[in-house]
Structure 1
Amino acid sequence: MTRPKRLRRCQLSVPASSEKLIASARNRAVDYVFLDLEDSVAPNAKEEARERVIKAVNEGGFRCGTIAARVNELSSQWALDDITRLVAECGATIDVIILPKVKDAEDIRFADRLITMLEAKHGIGKPIGLEVLIEEVEAMSNVDEIAASSPRLEALIFGMGDYAASQGIVTSGVGETDDYPGDLFHYHRNRVSVAARVAGIAAIDGPYADFNNAQKYREEARRAALLGFEGKWAIHPAQIELAEEIFSPDPAVVEKAMAISDAYEKARARGEGAIQFEGKMVDVASVRIFNDMIALAGMIAERDRQ
C-alpha cells in the first residue's frame, strides 16, 4: 500500500449534524474537509448524522483536495456501524477515516483489518486512509508503536483538548496555554512530530477553540509548524486562511532555496562537497532542509492550478 501525499495545511472540521455547515464546506477550496461524527454530534443525533455524511460524500461536489470523516471512538456503541456503513456505502469516494481516542497500536490494526475486509467485500479498489488522534495519555506513551502500526495510517493528530483532560492538565479552553511559561504542549507536540517523522507520516496539530482570536491561533499554529507539523485543524472558516498562511512556505524563501539547491548540485557535479552562497556555507545538510519546503511549494502550486 502506497501512502498518497496530501496537502493538510488546514483540516476543516464540519459537524455532521448540520446540513448548512456541510453545504458551506462543500464550496470552500480548502486542502482537507472532515465531517465529524464524534464530539460535535449529540448522542441522540449520531444515527442521523451518519446518514448525512454518507449522503454528502456520495453527492460529492466538494472543492477540497481530501474528504474525510471522523468516526466515534472504537469503544463506543456507534463505531462499528460508522466504519462499516461508511466503507460499504461511500468507500469508493471517501479518502480518509479519522479514529479518535486511540490508545495503542492494536486499535489501529483492528480498524485496518476491518476496513481491509470491507474493501474486499464491496470491491473497493482505492485503499481508504487512516488518521488517528493522539489525545489520551496511553496513546502518547505508545505513540511510536501507533505511528508504525499500519501502512494505511497517514497522519497523527495531536488533540490537545482531550489530552489535557486525560493527563489532568487544567486549561481555560481547547488549545489554550496562556497561563504556562512557554508552550504547555511543547513536549507533546515534539513527541508526536518525531514519531510521525520516523514512520514517514504527517503530524497535524489539533483545534484552537477561540476562533475570534486570530493572533493566538497563529501563534499556536506557528509553534506546531516549527516542530515539523504539516497543518492544523480549523473549527471555523475564519481559521482557514490563518492555517494556510502558517503552513505554506514563503515564495521568496522557496525561490532562494531552489537557487541554493541548484548551485549545490552544480558544485557537487564538479566534485565539491560544500559551497558558499551569499556569504554562507552550504553543504548536503543545508540542502536537505530545503527538500520538504520545495516539494510542498510544488504541491501547493499544483493545487492552485486545478
Structure 2
Amino acid sequence: MSTVRTASRSSSRAHPRRSRQRSLGPGDRLFLTVVVGIPLLALLVFVWLPALASIGLSFTSWDGLTLSDIHWIGLDNYHQIFTNYPPFWPAVRHNVFWLLFTALLPTPFGVFLAYQLDRKIRFTRIYQTAIFMPMVLSLAVVGFIWEIIYNPDTGLLDGVISAVSSGHHIDWLGNPDLNLWAVLIASGWRHTGYIMILYLAGLKGFDPALKEAAALDGANGRQTFLRVVLPAMKPVNIIILVVTVMESLRAFDIVYVLGGGTGSKPGMELLSLLISDNIIGESSHIGYGSALAVILLLVSLAAIGTFLVQTFRKEDQ
C-alpha cells in the first residue's frame, strides 16, 4: 500500500494539474478592442477608403468644387493619360530609372557598410550614428539641406568646384540633364543609412560559427559574404528589396522640395508629382490625378506581389 501511495504521489508531482485558462474580463476585452480597433479604424479611414474613392473618381471628371460637378466619363481619363498626356511617359521612365539607381548603388553600398561595421572596427558607433543621421531627418528637411548644397551662387558644391578650378557655376537643379541625378544623389544619401541599419540589425542575429567554419575551409571575406552570409540573410534581403521598391515608387517629398514644388519641371517628372499637380494644383483635374494614382497603385502591387509570390514559392519548394 505504501508503495502504491508513493507511486501515486510521485506521478502526481511529475504530472502537475494543468492550470485553468483565465477568461478575459470586461476590462481586457475593452483594452483589446481599443488597441486593435483604433489602428484598424485609422487604416480604413486614412488608407482604404481614400484608395477606393480614388478608384471611383478615376472614372469621372471633377474639378473638386462641388459634388454635383462629378460626371461619369468611363475610361476617358486612362485613354488620355496613355495617348494625350505628355508628362506621363517621362514620369514612368524617371520612376524606373529611380528604382534602378537605388537598387544598384545606395542599397548595395548600405549592405557593404553594414557588413564592414559589423566586424567590430574602431569607432563603429560613431560611424553608425553619422551614416544613419540623415534617416532621422524627414525627406523634406533632406531636400532643404541639399538645396543649400546645390545652390549655384552660394552652395557648398559650387564653392568647392570654384576653389579647385576656375570653372563657371553649375545650375544643378535647373539643368534638365543634371537635376534628376542631383535629386538621386540626395535621396541615396538618406537611403544608404536606412539600408545599413536594416542589414546591421539582421547581422546581429547571424551565427558567427558559420563565418568561422567558412574561414576554416579557406574562404576569404568576399567568399564568406557571398556564399554564407548573403544566403542566410534572405528574410532581411526580402525586406530590403521591398523597401527599395516602395521608396522608389513613392518618391515625392525630396523631389517636391528640390524641384520647386512642381511635377512638370523638365527632367524631374515623377508619377507622384503628377498626381499632386492634378489633384491639389492650380487647375484641379481630380479625375486625371485619381487615374494616375490608380496606375501607380497597380504598378506597386504588381511589382511587390510578383516578387513575394515567387519568393514564397521557392521557400515551399
Same fold (TM > 0.5): no
Query: Which structure has the larger Rg?
Result: 2
Pick the TM interval, shorter chain: under 0.3
Report which structure shows greater RCO (CA 8 Å, sep ≥6).
2
Higher helix fraction (1 or 2): 2
TM-score (norm 1): 0.22
TM-score (norm 2): 0.22
